[in-house]
Structure formats: C-alpha cells, structure tokens
C-alpha cells in the first residue's frame, strides 16, 4: 500500500478511480477502513483518496503532541503531493474536525465539505462530558486498548446482526498504539473553529445520524452559521454512519456531489 512522506512523517493512503479528487478522513482511533463501503462506490466518478491520519492505521506514529491543525497540514500536504488540489472533503467525527480546520485555514484546497457526525468544536462544557473523556484515559491506563475497544464498539453497533461490524471495530480500536491514541484524543479536547465557520464559502453538507452522540438540532444550529449549508439526516444510524448505513450515506453524498446547488432536496 502506498505511503508518502509529508511534514516529516510517512502517511499511508489508498487511492482509486479518476475524476475530481475526493478525500475521505476517518474518525479517532480508526483508519481508511471507515470508508470501505465508499471507496469503490465513489471511484466510479471521482479520484478517491483515503488517508490514515498521523498516529493511526498504517501511518507513522511519532511522539506527540498532535493537534487538529497538524492533522490538517498533513492532509493538505498529502493532497498537494498527489496533485489533488482542490478536493472534495468528506470527514467523519475527528475527520470532520480536520475538514473544518482545512476549510478555514486552506479554503483554496477545498471544493466542498461533507461533515459526518461531527462539528466545529469539541469544548467539554459539562461534568458528564469531562467524565466521558477522563474515563477513556483511565480505561487505557488500567486495562488497555482492548477494553476501550469493547466500550466503544458496543454502543456503535448494538444490533445482533451487527456482530461482525462490532467485533471488527473492537479489534481495530484494540490495535491502536496507546501513546498515539492518547495524543490524538488530547488534540481534540478544547479544539474549536466555531467562530470562523461563517467564513466558509464552499458548498457544505452536514450529515447527522438520528442516534448520534450529539443531537441533530445541534448540527442544524451550527450549519445555520454557514451560508448555504444544509443538514441531511441518516435514519436508524449511530455515530459510524459510513459503516452502519452505507447505502443511505452514499446516496446523500452522491447527490450532493452531483448538484450541491440543489442540496435543499436532501434536507431531513
């Protein structure tokens, strides 16, 4: 599998198809495997690029600290090295944060944004939010990444028919290097570009699962701060929409990429 050295690290990426560049950015503790049901689908019409963020998957895992801004600089540098700028950007969770940072820091690199179950800030405002994050650090320290994998995968894929997805995701989280995972999680805590998203001028689609960690109403609220942005809802889905409802997500994203000016028809 190909790798490129950018910003002093080797980044693993996968590519398929021809056409306008389309970059997929995965979630925390994950990899290009978040997009296994999207890569072949969108390679029919786009030059698809999926990368493992620094500290993840088969990319290098240098010592921290990491930051969302650093992840973004890596992504832009990779696209530049691949002669793939500007690109459509699709980001899930942490990948959505990177996409937002890219849109405000390097708008010339972004043709459009699709933000999946993410937002423009991760400010821990409540006691329960702080305890949730502290529990992740504690579980890793006391019991290891395997225990964290069980904690994360169960709520993501709770249905009996999702047992294969659940076990696979559990193993994927368990395979993370603890130091790199902790550095990546710290990179997200306190991050925000919420005061800058009104500057975004490219087409924006916010995809919200109906059973995500954060409510659809919050996504509608921040989308209202971006000119022309629209929210589309994925039904019977939790946080990992690309895996638990790939057909719904693919349809929504495909329609957006074909005609972002008519995105209003996707609103849910």
Whether the pLDDT of residue 263 is over 90: the answer is: no
Is the CB of residue 73 less than 8 Å from the CB of residue 102?
no
For residue 266, the model assigns a pLDDT of 54
For residue 211, the model assigns a pLDDT of 97
Looking at every residue in the chain, the average pLDDT score rounds to: 95
- The mean pLDDT value for 27-56 works out to 97
Q: Which residues on adjacent β-strands are paired with residue 51?
A: 13, 25
For residue 268, the model assigns a pLDDT of 47
Whether the pLDDT of residue 55 is over 60: the answer is: yes
- The mean pLDDT value for 70-98 works out to 98
Residues 236-254 pLDDT 10s: 999 999 999 999 999 999 9
Residues 59-75 pLDDT 10s: 999 998 999 999 999 99
The structural domains of the chain, ordered by start, are: 3-122+192-266 (3.40.50.1820)
For residue 64, the model assigns a pLDDT of 87
For residue 126, the model assigns a pLDDT of 87
Whole-number Cα distances in Å, 98 to 55, 89, 101, 238 = 14, 10, 5, 20
- Report the distance separating Cα 72 and Cα 168, nearest Å: 27
For residue 128, the model assigns a pLDDT of 86
As to burial, measured by CB atoms within 10 angstroms (0-12 exposed, 13-18 middle, 19+ buried), residue 75 is: buried
pTM: 0.95
Whether the pLDDT of residue 262 is over 80: the answer is: no
- The mean pLDDT value for 205-228 works out to 96
For residue 265, the model assigns a pLDDT of 46
Residues 166-184 pLDDT 10s: 999 999 999 999 999 999 9
- The mean pLDDT value for 222-226 works out to 97
Is the CB of residue 239 less than 8 Å from the CB of residue 210?
no
- Report the distance separating Cα 103 and Cα 5, nearest Å: 23
Whether the pLDDT of residue 228 is over 50: the answer is: yes
For residue 132, the model assigns a pLDDT of 87
86 pLDDT band (50/70/90 cuts)?
very high
Residues 94-151 pLDDT 10s: 999 999 999 999 999 999 999 999 999 999 888 888 988 999 999 999 999 999 999 9
As to burial, measured by CB atoms within 10 angstroms (0-12 exposed, 13-18 middle, 19+ buried), residue 163 is: exposed
């Amino acid at each position: 599998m190909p790798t490129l050295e950018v910003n002093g690290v080797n980044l693993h990426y996968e590519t398929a198809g021809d056409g306008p560049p389309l970059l997929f950015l995965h979630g925390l503790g994950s990899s290009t495997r978040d997009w296994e049901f999207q890569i072949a689908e969108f390679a029919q019409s786009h030059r698809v690029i999926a990368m493992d963020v620094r500290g993840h998957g088969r990319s290098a895992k240098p010592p921290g600290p990491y930051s969302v801004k650093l992840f973004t600089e890596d992504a832009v540098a990779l696209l530049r090295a691949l002669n793939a700028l500007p690109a459509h950007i699709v980001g899930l969770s942490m990948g959505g944060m990177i996409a937002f940072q890219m849109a405000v820091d390097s708008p010339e690199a972004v043709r459009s944004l699709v933000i999946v179950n993410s937002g423009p800030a991760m400010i821990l405002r409540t006691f329960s939010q702080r305890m949730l994050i502290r529990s992740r650090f504690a579980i890793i320290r006391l019991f290891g990444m395997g225990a964290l994998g069980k904690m994360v995968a169960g709520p993501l894929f709770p249905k009996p028919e999702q047992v294969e997805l659940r076990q696979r995701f559990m193993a994927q989280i368990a395979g993370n290097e603890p130091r790199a995972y902790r550095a990546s999680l710290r990179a997200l805590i306190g991050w925000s570009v919420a005061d800058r998203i009104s500057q975004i001028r490219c087409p924006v689609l916010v995809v919200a699962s109906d059973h995500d960690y954060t409510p659809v109403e919050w996504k509608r609220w921040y989308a209202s701060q971006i000119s022309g942005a629209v929210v589309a809802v994925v039904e019977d889905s939790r946080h990992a929409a690309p895996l638990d409802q790939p057909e719904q997500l693919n349809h929504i994203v495909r329609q957006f990429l074909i005609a972002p000016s008519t995105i209003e028809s996707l609103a849910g």
